[in-house]
Structure 1
Amino acid sequence: MKNFALLGASGYIAPRHLKAIKDTNNNLLAAYDRFDSVGVIDSYFPKADFFVEFERFDRHLEKLKYEEKTNIDYVSICTPNYLHDSHIRMALRRGADAICEKPLVLNPWNVDALSKIEKETGNKVYNILQLRVHQSIIDLKKKIDAAPKEKIFDVDLTYLTSRGNWYYTSWKGDMSKSGGIATNIGVHFYDMLSWIFGDVKQNTVHIHEHDRAAGYLELERARVRWFLSINEDVLPEEIKAKGQRTFRSITIEGEELEFSGGFTDLHNRVYENILDGNGYGLEDARQAIEIVHQIRHAEPKGLIGDYHPFARKKLATHPFKK
């Protein structure tokens, strides 16, 4: 049984980490969040200590080590994107391995710095790249790997996940904190695509607005047109008619990739791999971080070249800039 601490206990994704820690027969000793709406902990680890001040949380971990001779083996990080880097550093310097939600960090040079701390401390950084353990994605990778090496696949990625006005008030609506839409809701798709189709040859951004982004990504074995949005107005009419607020589609050579199911226990599988010594580390996360960093800093080209059909959809006014 390994000892865990968790940062970001009130966040949306935290329950998946709590469940994974419990289902892999390990123990959560301490959790932290600035917000105290964390009753969900009772369903998993009611005896875990909880802190709303980072300094007291950090001191508690130190007391566990020196006064109770209890070490933290892993720190799970579910905090806002811009805090991942510093929280990973804290975990490593506390003598623990870090298990961090994506994006691992916002900038490629952060990966280099963390690599140095890994070597200095002897501890490891793991990223939650759960699409890599989804059976449909694993099967697709095997299919692409078995195809003729000269074959270049045409891929369309469409991911629409509606968000209300709260999004723009939260840290997610602040590009300096979230990295923007491509980073916040797209990074795991870029990781999955580059894992399957290879290194980046071209990265063009057509549109990058407050509520959507679109571009063209040429990989070693794929030409990818992508479109991401948090605006429900861009949803296909048939999706709206069903009352649904999310639409996810990946087509390869015009054929839809079916991967709508099978998401329930992906965090569990990631944790199992990490505990077995087979987790995805810094270098695994690097390419997706480089892709979203380039998107974030690119000058949008407009509707030229090979762009995603959804890029033609009417732009919406920013809710706080009417």
Structure 2
Amino acid sequence: MSADPIIYCLEKLTDYRQFERLSSDLMAGIGYPDIEPIGGSSDGGRDAIHVSRADDSLTIFAYSVRSDWKKKLKEDCDRIVEEGHDPQHMVFVCTARLTAFERDKAIANTENTYGWILKLYEIERIRVLLSGNLRHLLAVHPSIFSPPWFPSKGGLSIAECRDTIVIEHLETDHFLATWLSKKLSIAGYKTWCYGISPMAGESKDDTLAVLLEQRAIQFLPVVCSELFAEPECLGRIGAAARKDNFVIPCWSEDLRSLDIKSSIIDLEPASFFGSWSDGLTKVIEQLKARNIPKDLDSERGKFIALSSYIPEPLTRPVSERIKVTSIGSSLQFSYKWVGGSI
């Protein structure tokens, strides 16, 4: 086993499609911002292409998890010629280990045979990129860099990558919080919600503390009157509120009449107690104003929202829906609607 966890995970990698995605993300981060992934069985030897804005030069990318990388490189080059493509540059990314002699020979052979300038990124060079400025990609590709070598909390890798909107709530606001999470996913934002995340065997407070430190780009606590009796929640939200433009409190009930002194109350809220739709609109407006990037396209967002869907019971717990106010010749009830208009 390799002593380096990045090397170990790359050496054990067999999912070619995941490696394609990782490789294209790496290339986008080191000078190919307009890279266009192609891939598939009819890619013509091209896993991705890039056309330079400066001189319109074409770069073709080929990726490989095979140990016989020399054979794969030649096959891809021959296929590119056969398909009539005319690149000026070729980039070959692989999980093999190359000696300096092998690297120099491959570069010279490619230029002499095909007339292209070849750049090689082998496993050690990939490790250097993922250990440096592109370390956030470790969290973006959890199927490659997985536990126990790369720990996770609440189903998220805890490698530093601030790309997720974290939603915290009490049990009484479960329905609102999960609805909000799914709506934001459909809108294109990457979310993590306590109520629908895998938390078995984990401490809620520990998990949220780590995710807010390592993964959160925004923090959306769903705030109700009961929350002010939870010192751990109050402390966490108060600490987060000290960061500029980091917290958007989502009020599930009107707290303006409460005699409470708290930094949470001082923050301008997104109000959901009148209308969930109005609250969602306020949240999205604030995310846009803070330039929070969307991580998902529309179809991907819908897929994630549907995948995380948990059918809710047709009847709610008695403690949340009905309170018996008196018992006489007949029962009298008072009902509490727990949401606004949707």
TM-score of the pair, normalised by structure 1: 0.31
Using CA pairs under 8 Å that are at least 6 residues apart, name the structure with larger relative contact order, 1 or 2: 1
TM-score of the pair, normalised by structure 2: 0.29
Greater radius of gyration (CA): 2
